[in-house]
Amino acid sequence: MTQATQPKTKSAATFRALKCKECGEEYELKAMHVCEYCFGPLEVVYDYDALRQTVTRETIQAGPNSIWRYRSFLPVETNQPIDVGTGMTPLVQAKRLARRLGLNKLYIKNDAVNMPTLSFKDRVVSVALTRAKELGFSTVSCASTGNLANSTAAIAAHAGLDCCVFIPADLEAGKVMGTLIYGPTVMAVQGNYDQVNRLCSEVANTHGWGFVNINLRPYYSEGSKTLGYEVAEQLGWQLPDHVVAPLASGSLFTKIYKGFREFVDVGLVADKHVRFSGAQADGCSPIAQAYREGRDFVTPVKPSTIAKSLAIGNPADGVYAIDIARKTNGNIESVTDAEIIEGIKLLAETEGIFTETAGGTTVAVLQKLVEAGKIDPDETTVVYITGNGLKTQEAMQGYIGEPFTIEPKLDSFERALERSHTLERLEWQQVLV
């Protein structure tokens, strides 16, 4: 690793320190992520007075059509960040899904089409690799449940950084292919994510690489705030009443919250009480279990679920996610693998969005919360869809029917069409009984 001198394109930076979330100790803006006194996680702090004086809705709208329109709120010095078109994904009003569930104001934040690798992880990696370059790293890495490896490999390729990523050996084919294609070194570790992560902490200490979610984690995690900013801007500079988002480490959830609070603090949106609800899979639900049992500590679990992108058994930000759900009068729920598959199908059939297992988890939890009366039909509710279904095709094998194979002849088509109508009638009868 070579430590770079000051970047040439340095601009007036508004982030000023790393600060321990537990004891408040402050540190220089280096590549580090835990407090040397209490081992608490470090977080980036900003000069909000400066932001209040310089940032307006107009300055944001004059920026690029990507997460970098919010650059003043992100921990980078350069005014030439790595911009691969990440962010500004559609916020769609989900009228048909809303009607099905009995809601009136439901929106989908669709990061299944985020650029360049079709998950929200492109946000955090765009920020982390921009910062990695500023800090002089030439090799970047990550411990991944799949999507993070895709993003790190793709954006490193674009930025000309060397890349070595670590994944659990049992990932979906689409996630492995979607990493290998960019030409990084890929280590498929025979173990679960938590074991991958432990190994990576050791490698980070011995090799001096920039691990986006380990030694660069304070910078990386700030990228998720853009999921909050964009929703506020796309709702016409207003906050929603309720958000539902998936939880793996819990980082994304806490940073949507931080993004909303910052927009209120600097006067970009009016203050509002936003409820935060989190989604996990039963097969890996350490945060939901702690929430249900009223605990403020998270007991690690060994994951076993089709929602592999959410399969973190020892979630770093679990306690902070619980705190936010409690103080905002939200919820944290979990659902079975069968419900996740139904959630994926429901979103596809009502809104034309094919999400991966993490999105199926979120939709299924949304449905569960509605059925339990925990979402008011008139609340403006935003559901975060964080990844693309084409990457987790295995999960849907055997659950989506098959095409009718026909001869290239009209009568063959007519017979198939008749069969399809019969099948539809049978399905309806099953629904009715």
Ligand X SMILES: *Cc1c(COP(=O)(O)O)cnc(C)c1O
Name the CA dihedral angle for 361, 65, 74, 126, rounded to a multiple of 10 degrees. 60
197 near ligand X (CB under 6 A):
no
| From 168, 210, 240, 387, residue interacting with ligand X (rule: CB under 6 A) | 387
Binding site for Zn ion (CB under 5 A): 20, 22-23, 25, 35, 37-38, 40
Q: Go through the chain and tell me how many residues it has.
A: 433
Using CB under 6 A as the binding rule, the residues of this chain from 91 to 110 that contact ligand X are none
248 near ligand X (CB under 6 A):
yes
151 near ligand X (CB under 6 A):
no
Cα gap 62→69, rounded to integer Å: 8
Interacting span for ligand X (CB under 6 A) from 96-104, 248-256, 283-291, 412-420: 248-256
381 near ligand X (CB under 6 A):
no
Residues 6+ apart with CB under 8 A from 102: 370, 377
Of residues 134 and 356, the one with the C-beta less far from ligand X:
356
303 near ligand X (CB under 6 A):
no
| Residue 273 backbone dihedrals phi, psi, to 5 degrees | -85, 110
Which residues are paired to 142 by β-bridges?
Answer: 165
247 interface partner picked from ligand X, Zn ion, none, CB below 5 to 8 A per type: ligand X
Cα gap 386→360, rounded to integer Å: 10
The owner of tokens 């380990």 is: 214
Cα gap 220→225, rounded to integer Å: 10
Interacting span for ligand X (CB under 6 A) from 21-29, 90-98, 236-244, 246-254: 246-254
121 near ligand X (CB under 6 A):
yes
133 near ligand X (CB under 6 A):
no
171 near ligand X (CB under 6 A):
no
- Work out how close the CB of 423 gets to ligand X at its nearest, in angstroms, rounded to a whole number: 33
335 near ligand X (CB under 6 A):
no
23 interface partner picked from ligand X, Zn ion, none, CB below 5 to 8 A per type: Zn ion
Of residues 35 and 243, the one with the C-beta less far from Zn ion:
35
386 near ligand X (CB under 6 A):
yes
- Work out how close the CB of 267 gets to ligand X at its nearest, in angstroms, rounded to a whole number: 28
* Position of minimal CB gap to ligand X: 387
| From 142, 358, 370, 383, residue interacting with ligand X (rule: CB under 6 A) | 358
- Work out how close the CB of 200 gets to Zn ion at its nearest, in angstroms, rounded to a whole number: 22
| From 119, 141, 277, 380, residue interacting with ligand X (rule: CB under 6 A) | 119
340 interface partner picked from Zn ion, ligand X, none, CB below 5 to 8 A per type: none
20 interface partner picked from ligand X, Zn ion, none, CB below 5 to 8 A per type: Zn ion
247 near ligand X (CB under 6 A):
yes
Interacting span for ligand X (CB under 6 A) from 88-96, 102-110, 245-253, 290-298: 245-253
Which of these, 332, 334, 363, lies nearest to 347 by C-alpha position? 363
**Where does this chain bind ligand X (CB under 6 A)?**
119, 121, 145, 147, 246-252, 309-310, 356, 358, 386-387
